[in-house]
Structure 1
Amino acid sequence: MNGRGITLFELLGFKVRVDVSWLLLAVLVTWSLAAGAFPLWYEGLSQATYWWMGLTGMLGLVFSLLFHELSHSVVARHYGLPIKGITLFIFGGVAEMTEEPRSAKVEFWMAIAGPLASFFLAAAFFLLGVLAEAAGLPVPLTGVLKYLAFINLLLGGFNLIPAFPMDGGRVLRAALWYWRGDLKQATRVASNAGKLFGMGLMALGVLSVISGNFIGGMWWFLIGLFVRGAAANAYQQMLSRDIFEGEPVRRFMTHETVAVPQDLPLSRFVEDYVYTYHYDLFPVVTDGRLVGCIATRQLKTEPREKWPYLAVRDLMVACTEDNTVDPGMDAIEAMALMNRTGNSRLIVAVGDRLVGIVALKDMLELFSLKIDLEGAGR
């Protein structure tokens, strides 16, 4: 996701975003329902009716995913954990936590809230469908209600599988954490379960492709690939938290900064700075004061032929909490900020005084070195 989320609205104090990948899923879900599932289940309806059912079913799925993730977020907020927002993406949705749960109890209730919410919706949609049928309401309405009951039952059940990053994997981690009192070991077990489950889904995808179900097989393979990667990443994040948590940014930043003047033409900026240093973010300094920053992605907003006639000041942006940090900030918070914004470098400043740059590459190199020398605690 990393900065590609489009904010849709705010609900119960949480920003709801949609990743660009979700648009593909929305189209595929609508098409598969309108052209495949509903015509198979309910014959004799018009093509327009099937498409309206498909669109309504897709919107109901969006609502269901939001309800699922909102339940996680509300419970997290109840226990004092900050949630930046909720993002829908191609494989579902995610509540964006900036901190890990502080106890096994908090982890358990946060994790189980999602499946419970999905089962509640499954029961509610099923009851509405039964009542709609009894009242003699149109088949398209009862058909969509039954579909939403089924999909929420499936969503709740799938998420209870005890493998990271599913909610069931978090429940497993909470149980192991409570039993053994070791969060790192609990995370490793849940992560390994997730990786095995992901590999199983990938194998299922390959078998489906071989048997002739190419589209279904590709989806299973991609979901398995995502699950396996997310499970492995969960344990890596646990290790990085052990290494970086409590350490200030100043320990990892470099004092040798490359700053650019605001009156420099963009063409010179590209040749003398971007192509020379290969950085994607530069601080802009005037008379010793930090006045802003410029990222290479901002160059794409202006055609190349205009670069000689524009200066850095024309494209630079203000120093904000998204690109600038205090040297005393916890390194874990800085890494979370990089992940959320997609910035691989952050400016380190005190007021308008530039004091350094912290780069994700440098932090990851230290992480790899410490893991190589000290091991992963296996």
Structure 2
Amino acid sequence: MPFNYPGLSAIIYWIIGLIATILLFASVLFHELCHSIIARRYGLPIARITLFFFGGVSEMTEEPQDPRIELKMAAAGPISSLLLATIFGIAYYSTSNLQMPPQIIAPLEYGFWINTFLAGFNLLPGFPMDGGRILRASLWLWRKDLVSSTKIAARIGVWLAYLMIAIGISLTFVGLWPTGIWLVFIGFFLKNGAESSLRHTLVNKALLGISIEDIMTKNVKTIEPDISIDSFVTEYLLQYRHEVYPVLKEGKILGLASIQDAKQIPKDRWKTTSVKDIIRPNEKIPMVRPDREAIDALMKMSKYDVGQVLVVVDGDLLGIVTHSDILQVVKAKTELNL
């Protein structure tokens, strides 16, 4: 900054730096909000927006089912950044011609470059960045195949990530280690994002059209809350292959008891401690209806960080769906290319 705007006091440089940092995060937030506005317009829920130092992510709970919608949604971010870059650029040009003080000119210049960089970087054709999503949507429109389009875009994203990592490592060896480390970090972030997004697409595609009723386990083994942990272990955990059991009393769901819950109690207290003392309460158990889509069960497992959901209608337990049940369906449909 002193090179571009010499002769200012240290406090002015700090103030300009602070303003530039605020502009960076405000620009990223505006970029992600534009994604979210388009997504919500087409009925795609956004769980949250997460900001990083180098960008942000609008976390969708559903993927778009139409390539045209994805194209509009992906393009909204770069277009918004280019719009801000134009506004800041015009303001910077005007204030420079008017010879206004650096405290005004400098933040406007940084606002221009920040948004130009955001637009350019996000337009790189590496999935799941905006450019990669635009590429996937275009391929999807042309090939009429979401999975193959995602694989191509994700593969390009991984190649781009490896290129960034290689350039970053090279820069560290020639003394530009801050930029090099930055590129390596972004490269790994992009690689993980591409691979994760591809898995997410494959799972969504495999579960499309499958209801919870299709995959749930019926006639679930349940236990009474008053039996001892010793009985729970010997009569259930060691007799059957399940790790989790719904706890019912007079047909009412009280909670879940698992092998992990039993492990929390010392073995010398198993005969004197009942299951009701270790169950996870009802309000902490994810539940779904049987007519919901299988992907809803997976999303609830992810949200609650559990391996199963109960299938319930009007308080009555109809079945249970585990993470293994869903993975089995995904594996079978993926291997059979269905």
TM-score (norm 1): 0.71
Larger-Rg structure: 2
The corresponding residue for 1:175 is 138
Equivalent position SS for 1:52: helix
Q: Does 1:50 align with 2:7?
A: no
Q: When the two structures are aligned, how many residues end up with a matched partner?
A: 325
Unmatched tracts of structure 1, length 5 or more: 1-37, 299-307
2:116 to 147, 150, 153: 153
The corresponding residue for 1:352 is 315
Q: Does 1:128 align with 2:91?
A: yes
Equivalent position SS for 1:197: helix
For 2:330 and 2:152, locate their aligned partners in 1 and report how far apart those are by CA, in whole Å. 21
For 1:88 and 1:221, locate their aligned partners in 2 and report how far apart those are by CA, in whole Å. 19
For 2:193 and 2:7, locate their aligned partners in 1 and report how far apart those are by CA, in whole Å. 43
Question: Structure 1 pair 228/356, CA: closer, same or farther in 2 (3 Å)?
Answer: same
| 1:40 Cα offset (Å) | 4.6
The corresponding residue for 1:111 is 74
| 1:211 Cα offset (Å) | 2.5
2:128 to 161, 165, 177: 165
| 1:114 Cα offset (Å) | 0.9
Give the partner amino acid of 1:113.
Answer: A
> What do the CA deviations read for 1:82-136 (whole angstroms, capped 9, x no partner)?
3333222455222222333232222211111110000001111222233344455
The corresponding residue for 1:200 is 163
For 1:218 and 1:294, locate their aligned partners in 2 and report how far apart those are by CA, in whole Å. 46
The corresponding residue for 1:7 is none
Give the partner amino acid of 2:25.
Answer: V
| 1:68 Cα offset (Å) | 0.9
Does the 8 Å contact 2:253/2:282 carry over to 1?
A: no
Give the partner amino acid of 2:295.
Answer: I
Does the 8 Å contact 1:115/1:167 carry over to 2?
A: yes
Equivalent position SS for 2:283: coil
For 2:120 and 2:99, locate their aligned partners in 1 and report how far apart those are by CA, in whole Å. 31
Give the partner amino acid of 2:300.
Answer: L
For 1:90 and 1:368, locate their aligned partners in 2 and report how far apart those are by CA, in whole Å. 37
| 1:294 Cα offset (Å) | 8.8
**Sequence identity (%):** 35
| 1:331 Cα offset (Å) | 1.0
For 1:42 and 1:258, locate their aligned partners in 2 and report how far apart those are by CA, in whole Å. 74
Does the 8 Å contact 1:263/1:313 carry over to 2?
A: no
Q: Does 1:218 align with 2:184?
A: no
> What do the CA deviations read for 1:138-189 (whole angstroms, capped 9, x no partner)?
4233212211210110110111112211111111122222222222222222
For 2:281 and 2:105, locate their aligned partners in 1 and report how far apart those are by CA, in whole Å. 52
Alignment of 1:329-344 (within 5 A): 329-344=292-307
The corresponding residue for 1:26 is none
Give the partner amino acid of 1:49.
Answer: I
TM-score (norm 2): 0.78
Does the 8 Å contact 1:72/1:113 carry over to 2?
A: yes
Moved more, 106-115 or 69-78: 69-78
For 1:105 and 1:263, locate their aligned partners in 2 and report how far apart those are by CA, in whole Å. 57
Unmatched tracts of structure 2, length 5 or more: 262-271
Give the partner amino acid of 1:319.
Answer: E
The corresponding residue for 1:72 is 35
| 1:257 Cα offset (Å) | 5.9
Alignment of 1:94-105 (within 5 A): 94-105=57-68
What CA RMSD, in Å, does the superposition of the two structures yield over aligned residues? 3.9
Does the 8 Å contact 1:98/1:333 carry over to 2?
A: no
For 1:287 and 1:40, locate their aligned partners in 2 and report how far apart those are by CA, in whole Å. 78
Equivalent position SS for 1:319: helix
Give the partner amino acid of 2:29.
Answer: L
For 1:195 and 1:313, locate their aligned partners in 2 and report how far apart those are by CA, in whole Å. 49
The corresponding residue for 2:205 is 242
For 1:205 and 1:260, locate their aligned partners in 2 and report how far apart those are by CA, in whole Å. 57
